Structure formats: C-alpha cells, structure tokens
Amino acid sequence: MARSLEDLVAVALTHKWAPLDVVGSYEARVGDAYEALDGGAEELVVLATCNRFEVYAVAPSPGFLVRLEEFLGEHARYARTLRGVEAARHLFRVAAGLESAILGENEILGQVAKAYEEARRRGTVGKYLSLLFHYAIKTGKLVRTKTMISYGSVGAPGAAVHAAEKVLGGFNGRTVLVVGAGEAGTIIARLVRQRAPKARILVANRTLERAVRLAEEVRGEAFPLDDLPRLLPMADAVFVAVTVEKPLLTRGLLELVKRGALVVDISNPPAVEHPVPGHIGYIGLQGLEQVIRETLERRLQEVPKAERIVEEQLGLFVRAWRRRAADEAIASFMEYARRVLEEELEELSGRLRGLGVDGAALEASRMFGESLVKKLYRPLIVYAQSLASNGEARVLDELVEAFRRELEKKLSSRPQRDRPPRRGIKCPPS
C-alpha cells in the first residue's frame, strides 16, 4: 500500500529531555520493546543507547502509541512524538552526531546501523524504513567526510593522543610508552596504533597479565611497572593513566626521560610529580581541558555545514519516499488491469475458439488487449505520480481502494472457471 510520509512516526526519549539513568535503563530492553510493540505497526525499528531510546514506525495502529506508553510507564512523560518530515529529520540529525551529548561523536552512526540490522533480522522493516535508514546512515557518513564535525577528541584519552600527536608531529617511527592498562590506557593505546601502524608501543601495568592482553591487541610489548626505569629512556611519548594516591613518576624517574620527549598525564589525582624537569615536555589535565575546549569550538563551527547536508539529504529522501508511494500505487492499478483483462480475454477466447479461430489470432487479441490497457492507463499513472510528488499519498490510497473494491465486485459477479496462467502487464515507462 502507498504510504504518506505522515505515516512515519518517531517516539524519542533522549538525554535532552530525560535523566540519563532513565534513558540508559532502556538500552538493554530492545527485545522487550519489540515484544511489547509486536504487530502494532507495518514497520518498526528500535534504537537504544545509553543516551537515547527511540522507536521508528510506519503506519502504527490506533493502539500503538498506547502500548508504547504502557511500555515506558512513568517515563512516558519524557518522550516526544515526531511525525513525517520531522521524524526523518530527527533521525538524520542523530546519525550525523548533531543530537549527541558530545557533538559529532562517531559511535552513534554505528549504533543507528546496528539498530537497523537488528530490525532486519527480526523482520520488522520493509520498503519505507529501509529507505529512511539508508538515507540516515548515508547522511551520517557524508557529514563526517565533508565537515570537521568529528574533529579531534573531547574525551581525556583521545584529547591526550591528539595533543601529543600535534606536539610530536606523529607517532610513526617513535616509541610510545603507555603507563596503565585500564579503560583510559586501553583507549590511548588503540588510538596510537590506529594513527601509527609503525609506532613501537610499550605497555606497563601493575598487573602484568592485563598489560599482556592490551599489548597483544595493539601489537605492542608488555612490562610490569617495576621496569619503568629502563622503559622511560626509550620513550618519545609517555602517557600516564593510572589511579594512585601519590605520584608514580617521581622526580627521580622523570630525570630518566630523554630530552625532548613528551609526558602526558591524565590521571586524577596527577601521577607525575611536580615540578617537571625542564628537558621534557609535559601536558596535564588542565592543559587537555584547553585542547578539549578548542576542539568543541572547532566542531561548533562545523554545525551549519552539517545541517545543510542534513537538509539536502532530507529533501532527496522525501522525493524518494514519494516515488516509492507512487510505484506501489501504480503496481496496484496495473494488477487491477491485469485481473480484469485476464477475465475478459478468457471469455473472448472461449467465443473465438467456438468460431474456429486459431491460436495465433488468440495471441494477437491478447497483445492488443495489453497494449490498449497500457495506453488507457497512461493518464492515470501520470496522475498517480503527480499525487505522490505532491505528498498526497492518501488520495492515492483512496484510488487504489476504489480499484480494489471494483475488482472484487467484478470478479464476484462472474462464474468460476479454469483460468489460464497469469501474464503480467508491465507498467509503461514514466
């Protein structure tokens, strides 16, 4: 059935409108949501992350929103309902990173794609939501390749790597020492390896087993903390990400760091003793806060460019949706024509055979009938395409329904006979 863009509905519960603990509580309830909303809409996708819980539906039933409200319970008051173009625009902005808690973050694009794939696996998406998510994912990729919306990093580990890379001019061919193999140290080691396939990465950690696991992942070398006196003189960059009560890198250890090397400490409290010797570079959390502020300012400057891309792709999506609606309506018209023509040709064939007409003449009559139908239907097809391009899919639905009723009336009034195999009537080119 042809669907108007107004049949698209999005219900969003996000970090902008609800407490984070409320939103995050739904991240592990995707399966519950699909179960609660089963059969409530023609198409359905559930997107759930730590910062948002969103449901996208096509042609929801009258009770769909009631069921969703019951699923959300007392949290339903935080949810917002969007329809049509506004629902699509919201998803495009989400995929582009414009609605994220951290502007321009990359993870959300993968989460949107994963939500779509999960819906496909469950069999809850069709032509329309497939189209929506195709354009949303495409938009997210375009925004990130054509703007600097994801420039730099606004997390301490990422900002540390970004700042060190700028100071040193890159990590390839250099030795990088990561002190600490926890969450922050792991992010740092991964980012260094992503940026520098030829860097030598040394991982030092209190628990050697953990250092070994991280070193294996990033193609590095693992060491216990006791080896710091011999590791520090090798390093061009030292990243410190540990939890300690007193400085781990004492003045004595810092004297071992080679001249011109850079030490970056993101530990809180600091793990590097002050004052830092003058022969080495140093960046602490305060310095990184400035880097993060500059990064956010740079990203904010890219927002207008990103929003233009969103609107451009939104326009293309709307036109594609309307073309799809027209195609479905036209297919319904042609199916009606095929069924009527089949009935009429069956009756005509019986009469002609009684007159001794051969098979070639019967085939010619069939070809004539198909050609006539195409020509007669041409104005209707043009009209259907015009309705769809103007967003009047509901009028299309009424036309299709009228044809369906007429067909049923016509077929029910005829006696049942053996019918010849179906032959399709192709749509004339638009």
- Catalytic positions, please? 50
Contact between 152 and 162 (Cβ < 8 Å): yes
CA distances from 119 to 94, 298, 428 (A): 18, 36, 35
Backbone angles phi, psi at 178, to 5 degrees: -110, 115
Angle between helix axes 84-96 and 285-354 (nearest 10 degrees) is: 130
Q: Which residues pair with 44 in a beta bridge?
A: 57
Contact between 180 and 242 (Cβ < 8 Å): yes
The amino acid sitting at 119 is A
Contact between 81 and 69 (Cβ < 8 Å): no
Cα separation, 10 vs 91, in Å, equals 9
Going by the DSSP 8-state scheme, the letter that residue 272 receives in this structure is B
Q: DSSP letters of 288-320?
A: HHHHHHHHHHHHHHHHHHHHHHHHHHHHHHHHH
Contact between 23 and 14 (Cβ < 8 Å): yes
Residue 75 burial by Cβ neighbours in a 10 Å radius (0-12, 13-18, 19+): middle
Q: Are β-strands 8-14 and 200-205 bridged in parallel, bridged antiparallel, or unpaired?
A: unpaired
Peptide bond into 379 cis (omega under 30): no
**First-to-last CA distance in the chain?**
20
Cβ-count burial 208-226 (b if 16+ within 10 Å, e if not): bebbbebbeebebbbbebe
